[in-house]
Structure 1
Amino acid sequence: MSLIILAAAGIGLWLFLKPKTEVSRPPIVAVEPVGTSDVNIYGEYAGRIRAQQFVEVRARVEGYLEKMFFEEGTHIDKGQTLFIIDQKVYKARAEKARAQLLKARANSQKAERDLARIRPLYEQNAASQLDLDNAEAAYESAKAEESVAAADLTQAELTLSYTRVTSPISGYVSERSADIGTLVGPGGKSLLATVVKSDSVLVDFSMTALDYLNSKNRNVNIGQRDTNREWEPFVTVTLADGSVYPHRGLVDFASPQVDPATGTFSVRAEMPNPDHVLLPGEFTRVRVLKDVRTDAISVPAKAVEIERGGAYIYVVRPDSVVERRFVETGPEAGNNIIIERGVAAGENIVTEGFHKLRHGMKVLPQASAPSDSTATR
């Protein structure tokens, strides 16, 4: 029994004399000061590309299709000949009209000479008033017939010109819609091909009513160009492979009213397409500036945690104690999030290492690389 008592006393003495465990050091956390900057807020919307011009090439006269002068799917120029329709009938009509004009012109000249002979005879009382009236009427009638013949020739030549079918615009031509030898025109197949102008294209998309109204309230009225401001409402689009199209477009139309079925505004942008990468009918993602925040507070998105109670961040006080603070977040801006309420400029927030933190804990703050608060999304 005495041995047990001595052993217990020895253990107690050892525990009393054992060096105290060193107090753990505060965790090291990366911090970043909160600043303000002007932030552009972008919205992304589903869009569809369409051709700026889509023209149907149709036969305006009836006849058999004789020749084709283009390669399907290639680029053609405005005024380039695409098809020839059988010209024989129309050439004959033009020649007949030309002959009729020559005949009418000869009759007119004869009537003019007759009138010139009658007038002096009438003045010498060698011709009656009736003779003069008949000569004048014959001359006026001959001149009118000449005008009619000239109009008939113009019409015949115009109709003949329609047998040579040309492209009304420059662009890419489709495959032919009628084969050589087909009867085309009013009594046959009139559509011959289509031409699409794709040097520039239009992109249609819809903005929510809230985004559109916010853009107006924030002086970012995308539907109105303003020569006094330093920027225009540019847009960018995403290609099918997910890459961003290198050329920017410009909003050139915004609907003056809300679509009652969808609650959205229809918006249109014109995009340059020099390499013909954007294809009409293709769907895309449209990115457009919808808001500009002046002196906005934004923090790295990685610094914001979200739970049921809302979003919060860790703020490091001057005494190096962290404070868990709930904040009201705004829209995202690139890698950052705008903070509407809850943190002030100049305060330090934790950007890394906050997962091991608790409210009121002492920390060792360490400056982190500053984030780009003006990054956009």
Structure 2
Amino acid sequence: MRAFPRLLLVSSLTLSAVAAWAGPQVPVLTLGAQAVSTGYELDGVVEAVRQATVSAQATGRVSSLLVKVGDKVRAGQVLATIDDRDTQSGVARSQAQVAQAEAELANAQAHVQRTRDLRQQGFVSQAALDVAESQFKAAQAGRAGAGAGAQQARLAQSFTQVTAPFDGYVLETLAQAGDLAVPGKPVATVYAPQPLRVVVQVPASMGAQARSAKRIELQVGDAWVQPAAQQGVTAADPVSQTLTWKMDVPVQAAAQMMPGQQARVRFVGGTAQRMVVPQAAVLRRGELTGVYVAGDKGFVLKAVRLGAQHGDTVEVLAGLKAGDAVAVNAIQAGLTGAQPTK
């Protein structure tokens, strides 16, 4: 009689252990065709519409770089200076040539005036007056040439200062103090914060779908907005086989973006009937992509081929049929003893 409670206790422990070893109950979803959008989403890059890479226009060493990335600049502000000792010498030389030409012009003017007076009094010949007038005209031409040379020297001197073309911000610096500057070598990149655009590369195979899309939307934060304007290039890049689409960002939305930022672009098309499963139902292990389908003895892993994504769901192109009961959570369905439940 005393052994009966022990037997009951052992049976209770055994039943508890069996219950503890029971697999998880995993909800399933019965597949069927659903209406999904035929559009698709791509990643684009935010660019500034007004962006310029300023370059050196003179040869010499970069004396100083006066800005850094992120600095706000004004139109005409000096961004960098180039060693200008050579151009300073050119300015001084041209100024001396101007002074010499002015002195020669003053002398020629006085001489021609005296020659005219003497000609009126009959003391010199007409030939002497012609020579004096020719010398005066030559002196005038020499003064004009010296003035042009001085202007050119001052222009060359101005090229030793690299300035901002418009109001904006420094996106990138491409030179440092001590670097050798030559005409055409980039020094810095400046951009205006407004307006902005999103540039996306659309695969050439999807170009027809992009052109036939009902509308195009840009993701700004958690919201989707339509671009202020859009433009698609009809010719494909021969290397990447993509089409470039440019979309202007609305002013209010552009305040939340910056150049270089990634932006999601959605081409919204019509609707079509497709079989879709939740993203959590898909198991990806290396090259294997599959889902767990409910059977008589639990779950069976089946390989599938997936299509376009639609938010938290993804299209199933092959491997399943309508009516299959798919586990909504592939991780739980893969556990030992997992059982389907509706």
TM tier, smaller:
0.5 to 0.7
Gaps of 5+ in 2: 1-36, 276-342
Percent pairwise identity: 24
2:218 aligned to which of 237, 244, 266? 237
Q: Deviations over 1:66-119 (max 9, x none)?
A: 333223332322211112223333223212211211221221122122222223
Residue 265 to residue 109, structure 1, CA distance change in 2 (3 Å): same
Give the letter aligned to residue 70 of structure 1: V
1:173 matched to 2:170? The reply is: yes
Which residue of structure 1 lines up, in the alignment, with residue 189 of structure 2? 194
Asked whether the equivalents of residues 77 and 167 of structure 1 are also in contact (C-alpha less than 8 Å), the reply is yes
Give the letter aligned to residue 270 of structure 1: D
Q: How does 1:199-278 map to 2 (within 5 A)?
A: 199-205=194-200, 206=202, 208=206, 210-211=208-209, 214=212, 236-239=217-220, 243-244=222-223, 248-255=226-233, 266-271=244-249, 272=251, 274-275=254-255, 277-278=257-258
Residue 110 to residue 249, structure 1, CA distance change in 2 (3 Å): farther
In 1, Cα distance between the equivalents of 2:163 and 2:240?
42
Which residue of structure 2 lines up, in the alignment, with residue 284 of structure 1? 263
Aligned length, in residue pairs:
236
Counterpart secondary structure, 2:149: helix
- TM-superposed deviation, 1:260: 9.1
- TM-superposed deviation, 1:43: 5.1
- TM-superposed deviation, 1:138: 0.8
Asked whether the equivalents of residues 238 and 244 of structure 1 are also in contact (C-alpha less than 8 Å), the reply is yes
Give the letter aligned to residue 185 of structure 2: S
- TM-superposed deviation, 1:175: 4.8
Q: How does 1:300-319 map to 2 (within 5 A)?
A: none
In 2, Cα distance between the equivalents of 1:251 and 1:42?
22
Residue 42 to residue 266, structure 1, CA distance change in 2 (3 Å): farther
Which residue of structure 2 lines up, in the alignment, with residue 367 of structure 1? none
Give the letter aligned to residue 219 of structure 2: T
Residue 186 to residue 263, structure 1, CA distance change in 2 (3 Å): closer
Counterpart secondary structure, 1:67: strand
Asked whether the equivalents of residues 59 and 184 of structure 1 are also in contact (C-alpha less than 8 Å), the reply is no
1:156 matched to 2:136? The reply is: no
Asked whether the equivalents of residues 251 and 267 of structure 1 are also in contact (C-alpha less than 8 Å), the reply is no
Higher-helix-fraction structure:
2
Q: Deviations over 1:276-307 (max 9, x none)?
A: 62433x4433246779xxxxxx9xx9xx998x
2:99 aligned to which of 98, 102, 106? 102
Asked whether the equivalents of residues 69 and 82 of structure 1 are also in contact (C-alpha less than 8 Å), the reply is yes
Which residue of structure 1 lines up, in the alignment, with residue 47 of structure 2? 50
Residue 122 to residue 256, structure 1, CA distance change in 2 (3 Å): farther
2:135 aligned to which of 117, 134, 138? 138
Asked whether the equivalents of residues 94 and 150 of structure 2 are also in contact (C-alpha less than 8 Å), the reply is yes
Which residue of structure 2 lines up, in the alignment, with residue 36 of structure 1? none
- TM-superposed deviation, 1:251: 2.1
- TM-superposed deviation, 1:263: 9.4
Residue 210 to residue 262, structure 1, CA distance change in 2 (3 Å): farther
- TM-superposed deviation, 1:156: 1.1
Give the letter aligned to residue 269 of structure 1: M
Asked whether the equivalents of residues 48 and 194 of structure 2 are also in contact (C-alpha less than 8 Å), the reply is no
Which residue of structure 1 lines up, in the alignment, with residue 289 of structure 2? none
Give the letter aligned to residue 199 of structure 1: Q
In 1, Cα distance between the equivalents of 2:55 and 2:144?
31
In 2, Cα distance between the equivalents of 1:262 and 1:256?
14
Asked whether the equivalents of residues 219 and 263 of structure 2 are also in contact (C-alpha less than 8 Å), the reply is yes
In 2, Cα distance between the equivalents of 1:66 and 1:261?
41
Asked whether the equivalents of residues 98 and 143 of structure 2 are also in contact (C-alpha less than 8 Å), the reply is yes
Residue 121 to residue 45, structure 1, CA distance change in 2 (3 Å): farther
In 2, Cα distance between the equivalents of 1:274 and 1:155?
43
Residue 162 to residue 289, structure 1, CA distance change in 2 (3 Å): same
Which residue of structure 2 lines up, in the alignment, with residue 13 of structure 1? none
- TM-superposed deviation, 1:45: 4.7
Q: Deviations over 1:297-355 (max 9, x none)?
A: x9xx9xx998xxxxxxxxxxxxxxxxxxxxxxxxxxxxxxxxxxxxxxxxxxxxxxxxx
Give the letter aligned to residue 163 of structure 2: T
Q: Which has the larger radius of gyration?
A: 1
Gaps of 5+ in 1: 1-40, 221-232, 292-297, 307-377
Q: How does 1:328-343 map to 2 (within 5 A)?
A: none
Counterpart secondary structure, 1:131: helix
Residue 278 to residue 290, structure 1, CA distance change in 2 (3 Å): farther
TM-score, with structure 2 as normaliser: 0.56
1:70 aligned to which of 61, 67, 71? 67
Asked whether the equivalents of residues 48 and 196 of structure 2 are also in contact (C-alpha less than 8 Å), the reply is yes
Residue 44 to residue 118, structure 1, CA distance change in 2 (3 Å): farther
- TM-superposed deviation, 1:245: 5.8
Asked whether the equivalents of residues 49 and 204 of structure 1 are also in contact (C-alpha less than 8 Å), the reply is yes
Residue 169 to residue 108, structure 1, CA distance change in 2 (3 Å): same
In 1, Cα distance between the equivalents of 2:90 and 2:274?
85
In 1, Cα distance between the equivalents of 2:238 and 2:247?
22
Residue 77 to residue 96, structure 1, CA distance change in 2 (3 Å): same
Asked whether the equivalents of residues 64 and 176 of structure 2 are also in contact (C-alpha less than 8 Å), the reply is no
Residue 198 to residue 290, structure 1, CA distance change in 2 (3 Å): farther
